[in-house]
Amino acid sequence: MTRIFDDDLDSRFGTRAIHAGQRPEPLAGAIMTPVYLTSTYVQDGLGRHKGYEYARSANPTREALERNVAALEGAHYGFAFASGTACVDSIMKLFEAGDHIICGENVYGGTFRLFDKLLRHLGLSFTYVDTRDPERIADACGPRTRAILVETPTNPLMWITDLAAASEIAHRAGALLIVDNTFATPFFQRPFDLGADVVFHSTTKYLNGHSDMVGGMALLRDDALAERLQFIQNAAGAVPGPFDCWLALRGTKTLHLRMPRHDANGRQVAAWLADRLGADRVIYPGLSSHPQHALACSQMRGFGGMITVDLGTKDRAARVLERTRIFSLAESLGGVESLISHPASMTHASVPPERRAQLGITEGLVRFSCGVEDIDDLLEDLEQAFEGM
Ligand X SMILES: Cc1ncc(COP(=O)(O)O)c(C=O)c1O
CB of 154 to ligand X, least distance (A): 8
CB of 31 to ligand X, least distance (A): 29
* Shortest CB 301 distance to ligand X, Å: 19
CA 72 to chain centroid, in Å, comes to 13
Contact 358, 318 (CB under 8 A): no
**Among 239, 3, 222, 201, CA closest to 88:** 201
Count of residues of this chain found to bind ligand X when the rule CB under 6 A is applied: 16
Which lies closer to ligand X via its Cβ, residue 153 or residue 286?
153
| Of the residues 119, 149, 207, 214, which one makes contact with ligand X according to CB under 6 A | 214
Q: For the stretch 299-321, what's the b/e string if a residue is b when 16 or more beta carbons lie within 10 angstroms of its beta carbon?
A: bbebbbbbbbbbbeebebbbbbb
Instruction: Return the number of the residue (268 or 332) whose C-beta is nearest ligand X.
Output: 332
**Is 343 among the residues that bind ligand X (CB under 6 A)?**
no
Read off the DSSP letter of residue 281.
G
Q: What is the DSSP string of 303-349?
A: --SEEEEE-SSHHHHHHHHHH-SSSEE-S---SSS-EEE-TTTTTTT
Active-site position among 108, 128, 206, 284: 108
- CA pair distance 101, 128, nearest whole angstrom: 9
Interface positions, 285-304, toward ligand X (CB under 6 A): none
DSSP-assigned states of every residue in 82-102: SSHHHHHHHHHTTS-TT-EEE
> Which residue in 132, 205, 323, 356 is the catalytic one?
205
Residue 50's DSSP bridge partners are none
Type of residue numbered 197 = D
d(CA 80, CA 82): 7
170 to 189: interface string for ligand X, x by CB under 6 A? ----------x-xx------
C-alpha 144: how far from chain center: 27
Question: Is 356 an active-site residue?
Answer: no
Q: Which is nearer to ligand X, 22 or 90 (CB)?
A: 90
| Catalytic residue status for 56 | yes
Given candidates 22, 68, 204, 338, which one binds ligand X under the rule CB under 6 A? 204
Residue nearest to ligand X (CB): 84
Residues of this chain, 344-383, that bind ligand X according to CB under 6 A: 347
For 163, residues 6+ apart whose C-beta sits below 8 A from its C-beta are 150, 152, 177, 179, 189, 191, 194, 195, 196, 299
Q: Which of 162, 180, 197, 263 is catalytic?
A: 180
Binding mask 72-101 for ligand X (x = CB under 6 A): -----------xxx----------------
Which residues in 100-159 contact ligand X (CB under 6 A)?
108, 110-111, 151, 155
Known catalytic membership, residue 108: yes
Q: Which sequence positions are flagged as catalytic?
A: 56, 108, 180, 205
Q: Which residues bind ligand X (CB under 6 A)?
A: 83-85, 108, 110-111, 151, 155, 180, 182-183, 202, 204, 214, 216, 347
